[in-house]
Amino acid sequence: LKPANEALLLTHLERAIQQRRTDSSMDGNAYRVAHSDADGLPGVTVDKYGDYLVIQQHSAALEPYLDALLDALEAEYQSLGILARFDGKSRSLEGLETGVFELRGAVPEWLEVREGNVRYLVDPWRGQKTGAFLDQRENRSALKAKAYGRALDVFSYHASFGLHLATVCDDVECIDASQPALERGQENASLNGFTNLSFTAGNAFDILRERERSGIKYQTISLDPPALAKAKRDLPAAYRAYKELNLRAMKLLEPGGILGTASCSFHVSESDFYDMLRDSASDAGRTVRILERRAQSSDHPEILALPESRYLKYALLEIW
């Protein structure tokens, strides 16, 4: 049975690789190669960062085929190194080895990659997910196409949205609770030669309220909060938090301003998300035009039978 299963997995991997080869949205060298169940590889994700690959594998059933998958990936990409991000709780539950370690070759502490006309550093050993939020790749490009003026990047992490905004906006302020994350953002700004980014550490809710009191106005705001509803029981509190963030952002935008806003919480449905935005607009006293209803990037595909595969909601809005 093992050869048949192995052959099937390798067929699914080759199909995933081929789909990325022909994806017209790809403009850079950092993207997801394989996306778990949606690519026929349950529990397996593979991200490409330039000449390096980072793999997550959470399924005991697929563990015997890991070497075969690695061989196929090396043959396709001639990667200089493959890193295992086996630090998720699910591997412990499956009784599998946990940790972060090199599977093939050597992987540096930091990797420089390109996304469109922006370069940034990835921390594959310790960073969120496998080092970067690749699922927002296309949304960053979509927001950049509409952005202008004075911009605010809230929950900026390593300034992923802020870097793209800096290419079209007059100035961009990046806000995050993590000082180390902002320091990485500053390094990314320097890497690109950007001088129109500033960085503020603090609580996003408090800062947005303070900015509203001060009367500061913006033309573009990006809201990319972490998952605020990690379980169904968290929904009421998450709804209130999302509403507070979006209400404040809408009030801070000048008429005609652009808001790019996201929720990566699977338990917040698309219907919940847009209901929250309607409530936010009503309480803010603003008229909101939907420019685009978006989801995760195409290299993070979804399948009809698995609602969990459509987890990211992203709205591009014009505020009046």
Active-site residue set: 264
Crossing angle for the helix pair 235-252 and 270-284, to the nearest 10 degrees: 40
The answer to whether the CB of 82 falls within 8 A of the CB of 95 is no
* CA separation for the pair 297, 259 (Å, rounded): 19
The edge-to-edge listing of strands for the beta sheet with 81-86 is 30-35, 44-49, 52-57, 81-86, 99-105
Degrees to nearest 5, angle at CA 222 with 316 and 320: 55
* CA separation for the pair 18, 21 (Å, rounded): 5
Residue 102 β-bridge partners:
83
- What three-state secondary structure class fits 289? strand
